[in-house]
Every structure is written in structure tokens, then in C-alpha cells.
Amino acid sequence: MRHAYLPGVTLGKLYCGSLTLATLEEPWIANPFGPGGQARQGLRRESCIPDGTYELQRHDTLKHPDVWAFYNPTLGVFHNSVPPGLPFGRSAILIHTGNTTRDIEGCVLVGLRHGHIDNTDAVLESRMALEQLRARLGTQNHSIVIRPIAGTSEVSHV
């Protein structure tokens, strides 16, 4: 659940059974050509992913081993690549370790708690949080719902 859509960051919580983790994403930036939010191009920032239901698919690369990628083609979010010719959409949006928006390109960071690093919003103890999530989720694919918590202003994703 997201609880703060701020100009420079999106903050939330990830609930997995009794495990609660802090999340951090880039702010929402609409894509005028379709769903999925703005993709990084040149100096343009990448957006957080749209609210919605996703399949979490296993993702394993040298840079991000043993993590999960979000997948929902209706929302313009693909695992490995955006289909050729599609004027919108994003791929390889992952749940992985890091602390601030400097550590992501549209992905979701997890930590044990929110905090600040050099006066910047952050998630803290990210590696420990990801290890706990791995222990809970195992190696299967899962589904996840991303939505604003009650009382939070929802942003338009079109």
C-alpha cells in the first residue's frame, strides 16, 4: 500500500503475511502515450508503476539476482521487454535492494523501515528486508496489489 505520493518520491508498505516492509519508489509521472507511467529517456525520470494488480515473476540477473519483476500488460508493465512498436510501456520493474531514488530506475526498493540518508527519503536495512521477503516468497511467482492506503490521494494513471 502506498501512503505518500510526494513530488520526489513515493512511499509505502509491502505486506506479506505477518511481514511488513517499507517501500520506496520514484514519484508518479504519467506517460501521454499510454499506461505504465513515464519510462526513463535521457534526462527524464522514470515513474513509479501504476496502482493495480500484478503478477510477480522471478527475475535473476547478475545485477539483480533472485528478485521479482512486475508484470501486467494491461497496465503497460512487462517483464523482459516492451513489445516492438508499442508507443508506451516499461519492462524490468523489479523489487530489489537500495536506499533512495538514486538506486532505482522505476523499480521498488524494500527496507525494514523508512528513514533519511543525507536529508533524502530512504528505506533502511534493505538487504535484510529482501532476505526476509525471499524467505517468505520462495521461488514461486506471486500476485501483488499496489494501491493507495485509505485517505491517501490517488493519482490518475491515464
What's the rounded mean pLDDT across residues 55-68? 95
Which pTM was predicted? 0.89
Per-residue pLDDT tens digits for 9-27: 999 999 999 999 999 999 9
Per-residue pLDDT tens digits for 73-82: 999 999 999 9
Q: Strands, DSSP E only, in the chain?
A: 2-5, 10-16, 19-25, 52-59, 67-71, 77-78, 90-91, 94-96, 108-111, 113-117, 120-124, 142-146
